[in-house]
A and B are shown apart, each in its own frame.
Chain A
Amino acid sequence: MKLELGKIKINDIKFADKTEVKDHVLYVNKEEVEKLVLEDDKLIGCHLEIAHPGESTRITPVKDVIEPRVKVSGGEIFPGVIGKVTPPVGTGRTHALDGMTVVTVGRIVGFQEGVIDMSGVAADYCPFSKTVNLCVVIEPAEGLETHVYEKAGRMAGLKVAAYLGETARNLEPDTLETYETKPIFEQAAEYPDLPKVGYIHMLQSQGLLHDTYYYGVDAKNFVPTFMYPTEIMDGAIVSGNCVAPCDKVTTYHHFHNPVIEDCYKHHGKDINFMGVILTNENVFLADKERHSDMVAKLAEYMGLDGVLITEEGYGNPDTDLMMNCKKVEQKGIKVVLITDEFPGKDGKSQSLADTCDEATALASCGQGNMTLQFPAMDKVIGTQDYIESQIGGWAGCVNPDGSFEAEIQIIIASTIANGFNKLAARGY
């Protein structure tokens, strides 16, 4: 599969009568977007706000962050969710609005949505403090079940991102990148002297508000499978999660998976990047055993010499992580784990909830228990009403002036366990 990814740099967003991109500025017809969101009768309120880097602005509670993209050729964006499920994505040409995001904002459950600060100390920990963000603030109809509202919120963000992505269809991209992974025998033969490396991508799939979708399929309902790495760049994976903000893999992060991007950078130089094994994180122990067996079987079948593994979440998924590590290593394949840590506030306790003898190489993406003083902001997009109950906050942590103390867990993507963050260990 070969994909051309064209990026159009967006420096600012402004409201206007017509939705279009001109001179690196995205103009948005506010009414059209609000109407699009309110087509869903489960949402009764929607308004848009723009947040720029450096402003005294706080966005919270954040549900998802999405980059607008469009498929110029080769299928449709977010297949099985917004676009048609067939043909499969990952080929043809895709255009992306680079440097901006769509952020869905609104309370889903009382504790699991995060914070984005556009300036101040907390901005250093968040990638979305450096992008121009179009915030879609949503309000649910009375009496909706939580999971129904979650779906409405998820779809609202994706619809808006796809709508804005359309503006890029006929634009000339500023940069054009090409990514290619060939069918297994061809790919193995292309660089016969380089080690064959794969990526085991564990998707959060633990039930209500903890689900991820692959071509629209709830990840808890599939068995481990192979994915061409380019598929993810076209929205084959969509986040439905409201997990802890710090290690939530947003839909934006799926587009920009750093393991995949870095493996492509090394592809043909020092590794032969063979592709992605997608798996899930299960509630029932028998499923964990079965799926880690299948992951190891696929890794062996692909003839891999080494794999990188990432997880999403803490606790229960650490067991899936270690089972995958152990069983893949036992096939004679080298494993490097990538994850974040929760060693308690003093940083001295065990970082993960599980371990195994085979886990001998691990890249850390930082620890989420560290606390930070969040300054008061001039503007809040959404509401600060739930800070105390959001993950990372606690009763009494908010001061009357709107400043508060919280663990960095509360910041969206601060310790994201795939390395797309400031705390990732990097080699120079």
Chain B
Amino acid sequence: MIDVTKLLIITNNDVTEEYFKGQIRTEMVETHKDVLLKVRDYIYAGGWKLITHPMASSIKPNQTPFRSIILIQSKEDNTEDIIMIEEALISFEKFEGDKKPTEWYRKTTDQDFKRIDFYMIEDAIPHLTR
């Protein structure tokens, strides 16, 4: 069973932040890339491991503006976590094209992307403490 007080969520999704308020410590950043970079920095600093995979499933990194990743404080070796977050960053760079989303695009899809991102980790507390 996992100690919830040792968890940390890095996110740029306000739905995630709002839901976990008072339950899991959450750090808000601005963009999807900022989420990946912040997670990378924690892992390299040491003492942190990934709880969730840094990439979404089937939504390529350039296709969603929102991402939430859960970390845990841990003294265990985190070499595999380093590889995983670096691969996520490589993948992000590979897909980040010049197709910047328009206002219309953001208006029609932002809520959907926020929900999909949030629902991936919605059950984190019952799941991790069972």
Using a CB–CB distance below 8 Å, which chain A residues touch chain B? Answer: 109-112, 146-147, 204, 206-210, 243-244, 247, 281, 283-286, 288, 312-317, 319, 342-345, 349-350, 353-354, 386, 388-389, 391, 394-396
Contacts and interface: CB of A to CB of B under 8 A. Distances in A.
Contacts of B59: 111-112, 243-244, 315, 391
Contact of B120 (A206, A244, A285, A395): A206
B73 interface: no
B43 interface: no
B75 interface: no
Given A285-B51, A389-B105, A395 B57 contact: no
B53 A388 contact: no
Given A206-B58, A285-B50, A395-B101, 10 more contacts: A112-B59, A210-B57, A283-B53, A284-B51, A315-B61, A315-B91, A342-B95, A391-B63, A395-B104, A395-B105
Interface string B55-76: 1111111010000000000000
A205 B84 CA distance: 20
Interface stretch (B19-27, B28-36, B108-116): B108-116
Given A109-B112, A395-B104, A284 B58 contact: no
A349 B88 CA distance: 13
A278 B70 CA distance: 27
Task: Report the interface size class on chain B.
Answer: 35 or more
B2 to A, nearest CB: 9
Given A206-B57, A344-B95, A111 B101 contact: no
Contacts of A316: 53, 55-57
A314 B84 CA distance: 14
B94 A350 contact: yes
B53 A342 contact: no
A119 to B, nearest CB: 28
A291 to B, nearest CB: 13
B109 A243 contact: no
Nearest to B112: A109
Contacts of A244: 58-60
